[in-house]
């Protein structure tokens, strides 16, 4: 037989025998201890209590401002119509410096007629720019090497034409030149260059310093074209991709002792490459930039505004407006016909 429950929580209270509350509550039911039994503690009962489930508040993502990776870009693409450019080139061709130069130019004001509206990757830009230009104790500026282990980095810029046109959400990808070099040599690796499928515009960065160097010209000019062929012919790009060759380090070709010779080499190579790669239906261009005029200061920064303008030219979208119906039956159609 189980013992009757104690009518009071306080063991010294005699309410069970006398019917009177030790604490003088009358009626006894008013006593907060009356009719309650002490709960055995979990430790005393030996039972393991389930730990109460705590639901964490939903995490709020705070952008670090560094370059975007694939997951960030996927999230970004769900909310924005992007203009995508992939910078492609062998190591040390000048890809990262070009990005740093565009950022540096925007820090001073509009670039050509494109005004800065915003960026999700300002910290990423600032790091590249800082490392490209501000490393102390160096006799000349130097961009740190993009490591082959680094994932593809995506930079973002929101730009608006200063005549008030629509804002372009520009995304530029940068990755280590080693990955591109390896894929040129072994085309089985082309499929790993996933950022290229995303690109509306493939920008092959041509190192003009190497091209115009008599000792390196032959090998380099061949390898450069080989890279375009390897990627284009192995399905690296989407069907309607625009391809451009961007000859950078133009300042190195302007040194007075070899300027005429270098200009002739560049012109000839441009004519050759345009002839080979220009196909009907695909935009193809050859352009020149100087992103860091350290070899010939007089050249100055060159071609940056044109480059950004090209990358953010408003797209010609198909017209989806219904043609107006003449002499329409419905009032709404007649209204539309007036416009």
- Chain residues that interact with ligand GDP, rule: CB under 6 A: 89, 91-97, 141-143, 146, 177, 248-249, 251-252, 290-292, 294-295
Site for Mg ion in 88-127 (CB under 5 A): 96
Kindly state the tokens that stand for 170: 């520009």
Among 174, 207, 182, CA closest to 86:
174
DSSP string, 99-160: HHHHHHHHHHS-BTTEEEEE-S-HHHHHHHHHHHH--TT-SS--PPPPPTTSPPEEEEEEEE
For ligand GDP, give the closer residue by CB, 95 or 232: 95
Nearer to Mg ion, 145 or 255 (CB): 145
**Closest approach of ligand GDP to the CB of residue 85, in Å:** 15
Q: How far is the CB of 95 from ligand GDP (least distance, A)?
A: 4
Site string for Mg ion, 18-57 (x = CB under 5 A): ----------------------------------------
- When the beta carbons of 34 and 180 are compared against ligand GDP, the nearer one is 180
294 binds, among Mg ion, ligand GDP, none (CB under 5 to 8 A by kind): ligand GDP
Residue 311 · residue 287 · CB < 8 Å: no
Write down the least CB distance from residue 92 to ligand GDP, Å.
4
- Closest separation between CB of residue 52 and ligand GDP, Å? 53
Closest CA to 285 of 265, 301, 309: 309
Question: CB under 5 to 8 A by kind: which of Mg ion, ligand GDP, none does 253 bind?
Answer: none
How many whole angstroms separate alpha carbon 176 and alpha carbon 244?
19
Nearer to Mg ion, 84 or 146 (CB): 146
Q: What minimum distance in Å lies between the beta carbon of 171 and ligand GDP?
A: 17
Nearest 5°: phi and psi at 156?
-125, 140
Question: Alpha helices, DSSP H only, in 161-258?
Answer: 177-185, 195-198, 208-211, 217-233
Q: How far apart are CA 109 and CA 13, in angstroms?
A: 86
Per-residue x/- mask for Mg ion, residues 141 to 170, rule CB under 5 A?
-----x------------------------
Q: Shortest approach of ligand GDP to residue 208 CB, angstroms?
A: 8
Q: At what angle do helices 95-108 and 122-133 cross, to 10 degrees?
A: 110
Are 100 and 143 within 8 A, CB to CB?
A: yes
CB 223, CB 90: distance < 8 Å:
yes
Let me know: does 119 contact 80? Beta carbons within 8 Å: no
| Closer of 15 and 179 to ligand GDP (Cβ) | 179
Q: Which range, of 54-62, 113-121, 138-146, 297-305, touches Mg ion by CB under 5 A?
A: 138-146
When CB distances are held under 5 to 8 angstroms depending on the partner's kind, the choice from Mg ion, ligand GDP, none that residue 120 binds is none
Q: Which is nearer to ligand GDP, 88 or 198 (CB)?
A: 88
> Is residue 86 a contact residue for Mg ion (CB under 5 A)?
no
| Residue that is written with structure tokens 């230009």 in the block | 133
Q: Which is nearer to ligand GDP, 288 or 310 (CB)?
A: 288
Helical (H) or strand (E) element with 44: helix 42-45
Distance in Å, CB of 142 to ligand GDP, minimum: 4
Least distance (Å) from ligand GDP to the CB of residue 91? 5
CA distance 147 to 156: 20
Which one of Mg ion, ligand GDP, none interacts with residue 251, CB within 5 to 8 A by kind? ligand GDP
DSSP structure class, residue 34: B
Task: Report the interface residues with Mg ion, using CB under 5 A.
Answer: 96, 146
């Amino acid at each position: 037989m189980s013992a009757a429950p104690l009518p009071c929580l306080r063991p010294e209270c005699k309410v069970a025998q006398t019917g009177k509350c030790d604490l003088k509550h009358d009626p006894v039911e008013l006593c907060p201890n009356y009719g309650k039994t002490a709960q055995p503690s979990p430790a005393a009962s030996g039972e393991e209590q389930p730990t109460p489930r705590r639901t964490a508040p939903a995490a709020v993502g705070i952008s670090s401002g560094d370059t975007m990776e694939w997951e960030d870009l996927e999230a970004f693409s769900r909310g924005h119509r992007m203009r995508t450019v992939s910078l492609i080139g062998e190591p040390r061709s000048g890809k990262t410096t070009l990005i740093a130069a565009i950022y540096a130019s925007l820090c001073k004001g509009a670039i050509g007629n494109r005004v800065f509206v915003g960026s999700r990757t300002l910290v990423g830009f600032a790091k590249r720019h800082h490392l490209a230009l501000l490393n102390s104790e160096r006799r000349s500026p130097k961009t740190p090497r993009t490591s082959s282990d680094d994932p593809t980095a995506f930079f973002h810029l929101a730009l608006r034409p200063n005549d008030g046109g629509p804002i372009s959400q520009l995304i530029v990808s940068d990755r280590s030149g080693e990955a591109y070099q390896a894929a040129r040599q072994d085309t089985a690796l082309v499929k790993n260059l996933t950022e290229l499928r995303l690109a509306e515009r493939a920008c092959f960065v041509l190192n003009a310093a190497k091209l115009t160097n008599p000792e390196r010209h032959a090998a380099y000019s061949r390898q450069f074209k080989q890279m375009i062929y390897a990627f284009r012919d192995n399905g690296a790009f989407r069907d309607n991709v625009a391809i451009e060759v961007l000859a950078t380090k133009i300042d190195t070709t302007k040194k007075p002792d070899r300027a005429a010779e270098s200009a002739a080499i560049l012109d000839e190579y441009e004519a050759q490459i345009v002839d080979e790669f220009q196909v009907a239906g695909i935009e193809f261009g050859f352009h020149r930039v100087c992103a860091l005029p350290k070899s010939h200061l007089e050249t100055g920064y060159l071609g940056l505004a044109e480059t950004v303008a090209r990358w953010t030219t408003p797209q010609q979208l198909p017209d989806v407006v219904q043609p107006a119906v003449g002499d329409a039956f419905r009032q709404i159609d007649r209204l539309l016909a007036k416009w």
